[in-house]
Amino acid sequence: MKIIFHVDVNSAFLSWSAVKRLKEDPSALDLRTVPSAVGGDVKTRHGVITAKSIPAKKFGITTGEPVMTALRKCPGLILVPSDFQTYRQYSGEFIRILQRHSGMVEQVSIDEAFADMTGVPDPLAEAAALRAEIREKLQFTVNVGISENKLLAKMASDFEKPDRTHTLWPSEIPEKLWPLPIRELFGCGAATAARLNSFGIRTIGDAAGTDVRILQAILGEKGGAYIHRAANGISSSVLHPEEEDAKSYSNEMTTAEDITLQNYAEALPPILRRLSGKVASRMKRDGVRAFTIGVMVKTGGFQRHSRQTTLSLPTDDPAEIFRTADQLMHRLLFAEEGNAEPDGEQEEAEEGLFGRGEVLRLVGVSAAKLTNEKEVYRQLSLFDLPPGETEQEKAQKKAQEEARKKAQEEAQKREAALKDMMDRINRRFGDKAVKKGTL
């Protein structure tokens, strides 16, 4: 049997900001003990809340809500700015502690990770030890969720906070998972929940007990299948310990003749276009898209050089990969200033490779920082697009609306016919002959 932990830092950004303040000034107010939040522009009070303390949560303040409405709920709310450098540092220390407890850790986001603890004799004791170590060494708390797969472990870590361990073994699903509102199911966004509610599916248990085909009629094939599986606690227990960045696609090509300052304008674009097309079609085949596009070359002296950039949206489009690769290549060859920021190797000399009299004998294009359709779907459903975002969704919603109206009308007709019949019976036999409730 697999044992999976999901470890989640409690109010991560807020805790980390609080810990930093206390480190700098031990007499400072501990932000965790008062209504406080991270987010937005503290001075102009614009933007959204990215984290809140547990006392702030009691005022109904939620992550993602505008700072303005949060202040209306709690005028005394203390706002602190984000400090990503500190967050990255604490995140790293947190993951390193987990890695000492498990050889297989999959970091899911800056403040949460799965750890495979299969074989641990006493999971609860192990979780307690882990929590204590993090609390003592790093001064912040985590919740640990324990189960046989990732979804259940993740749901468990979200139960009562802070600094708690919860199990959600498959046998505990009816008691601990099914009574929860469907909105709380991982991967069920607000719009999905609203749609399910309108069909009378209110709890996770309701969804678990609904025929998958009905869920698919309401949410579409993929969405319905996902909700049905998830509501029944079915999910993977396979961890992916390496960072997503480690996976990549690349294609390279040794050039027929050296590429030089004289021939590059003609010779290079067709090669880049071909390589971009190959990378794109491999990604399409595997159903993934990449945030990071890179180029690499080998010079006449067999030295490798590379450049890469991260896009704001993931792509599998060969034209976009080509355009990006072409820009990167120009920067590599001529050290042109680009708009995109390089986040790979930056050792290239100011004047670029051609400026140094180099020639190219090998060219490559790569795509990394991959995201798959499932992940995109997960993110979409977590954050829910505004309803009616696409024509297909509009049509689907309209069809659902019509189906619901029709069902409602029919119910009303039946109700009216029934009432009519009772009226007639009552007129014949007197008022108490038939009561609706007894029928």
Contacts with Mg ion by CB under 5 A lie at 8-9, 12, 111
409 is annotated as an active-site residue: no
- CA–CA distance, 11 with 275 (Å, rounded to integer): 44
Closest CB to Mg ion among residues 16, 322: 16
In whole angstroms, how close is the CB of 12 to Mg ion at the nearest point?
A: 5
Closest CB to Mg ion among residues 12, 56: 12
Structure-token pair, residue 101: 């407890």
In whole angstroms, how close is the CB of 326 to Mg ion at the nearest point?
A: 41
Closest CB to Mg ion among residues 12, 227: 12
Identified catalytic residue from 106, 112, 126, 148: 112
The 3-state secondary structure of 365-431 reads EEEEEEEEHHHHHHHHHHHCCCCCCCHHHHHHHHHHHHHHHHHHHHHHHHHHHHHHHHHHHHHHHCC
- DSSP β-bridge partners for residue 66: 48
Closest CB to Mg ion among residues 9, 296: 9
In whole angstroms, how close is the CB of 141 to Mg ion at the nearest point?
A: 10
**341: three-class secondary structure by DSSP:** coil
In whole angstroms, how close is the CB of 3 to Mg ion at the nearest point?
A: 21
In whole angstroms, how close is the CB of 82 to Mg ion at the nearest point?
A: 15
Please choose, from the candidates 366, 225, 356, the residue with its C-alpha nearest in 3D space to the C-alpha of residue 283: 366
**189: three-class secondary structure by DSSP:** coil
- CA–CA distance, 417 with 44 (Å, rounded to integer): 61
Closest CB to Mg ion among residues 51, 207: 51
8 A C-beta contact, residue 277 and residue 253: no
Q: At residue 125, what is the residue type? A: A
Residue 257's Cβ-count burial label (10 Å; 0-12, 13-18, 19+) is: exposed
Please choose, from the candidates 190, 106, 141, the residue with its C-alpha nearest in 3D space to the C-alpha of residue 18: 141
Q: Which residues are catalytic?
A: 112
